[in-house]
Amino acid sequence: MLYRSLLRPLLFRLSPETAHELALQTLSFAPKLTKRFLSDRCKRSPFGELKRFGLTFSNPVGLAAGFDKDGIALRSLAALGFGFIEAGTVTYHPQPGNERPRLFRLPLDKALINRAGFNNEGARAFAERVINNRPDCVLGVSIGKSKLVSLDHAIDDYLKSFAAVYDVADYVAVNVSSPNTPRLRELQQATQLDKLLRALQERNLQLSQQSDGRGILPLLVKLSPDLEREELQDIVAVAKRNSVAGLIATNTTTTRAMLQTRADAVQACGEGGLSGAPLRRRSREMIATLYNLTEGSMPLIGVGGIFNADDAWEMISAGASLVQIYTGFIYEGPGIVRNINEGLRRIVSREGFVSLDEAVGSRAKGF
C-alpha cells in the first residue's frame, strides 16, 4: 500500500529509465541491510522445495531478465522474496543500447514499451561482479547477440557469452526473441536455432568436463509472443533434439492491439516491445500451446502480464512450472512477490490440489 500510494507516484514523476536506475542503485547500496530488514518479511516457500530442470527453487516466482542487466542489485532483489532471478540480458561486447528515451509507461494499460537494445557492460564484466556477490536464490543469466556482430557470426558471439557466465549462472537463457536488436528474431527459425543450440550444448559439455567444471548447465530458450503455432511446433522439435531444459514464454510483443491509451500517445512512443497486462492472454495461450505440444515433458516459465496471484495461477494452470514478473513488479512494487506466493497457496488449496506440481497444466487442454 505504501508503494502504490506514496512511492509509485513519486517514481512515476521521473522518466521511466531514471526511475529504474534510481531503484536499482538504491537496492544495490546496502544489500546486507536490505536482507536483514526485508528477508524474513518477504521470503515465502508456500510449496516447499520445487525441483525444476535439476535445480531447487524456494518458490515459483522469479524476476524476469531486463530488470538487473548488469547484476548490481542481485542480493537485495533476492531479499524481496524471489525464488529466482534472471539477470541480463548480457552480450559479449559491452554496448550502450539504443538512444534515449527508450522506455515508456502506459499507465492506463498497466504496460511498458521498451527499445533498450541490450544495454549492458558485457558478459565478462557481469561475471566478475557476480562471482563474489551471488544472490541466495537460483540465478539465471540471459544472453543475447551483440549488436555489432552480424547474424552470420552470431553463434560465436553467443558461445563467448555462454563461456563468460558459465561459472556464475545456475541456468542460461538464450534470448533470440527481443524485438530491439536488428534481425535477432531470425534466430528463432528452426534451422538457425538448431545450429545455435547445438553449438551451445557442445560448449556446455566441453566446459563441464574441465577439472573445475560445474556440470552441464540447464539451457533455456526465450520465445517471442508473435510466433505462430506452426513455428512453435518446429521450435519444440529443435528444443527436444538439442536437450533444451525449458522454454520461456514470452518476451515482449511488437503489436499494439486493444490498448486503452490513445493511439497518438502510443505512436509517439515509437518502436519497441510491449509488456505488461496487454500481453497476459497471449502469453498464457502460448504457455498452454507449448505445454500441449511437449505433452508436459518440458518445464515452461510463464512471463507476461502477471500482476497478482490470480494471474500467476492462470499461467501455472495453463502449463507453467515457474512464473516471472517484470512490469507487474514496477506497477505493484516489492510486495508483489509475497502477495503472489501467499495467494497462490490459497488458490491451489481452493482448487483441490495438494501440491503446485499437480496444478501445473491442469487447464492446458482448455486452450
**Active site members:** 178
- Burial label for 203, CB within 10 Å (0-12, 13-18, 19+), is middle
Q: How far is it, in rounded angstroms, from Cα 12 to Cα 268?
A: 18
How far is 283 from 272, CA to CA, in rounded Å? 17
Listed in order, strand segments (DSSP E) in 187-282 are 219-223, 246-249, 273-276
Do 334 and 3 meet the contact criterion of CB atoms below 8 Å apart? yes
* Euclidean distance between CA atoms 99 and 237, whole angstroms: 37
Would you say 343 and 328 are in contact if contact means Cβ atoms under 8 Å apart? no
**What does the DSSP 8-state code read for residue 57?**
E
Does residue 336 contact residue 307 with C-beta atoms inside 8 Å?
yes
- Residue 283 cell numbers, joined: 502469453
- Alpha-carbon distance of 289 to 365, in angstroms, equals 9
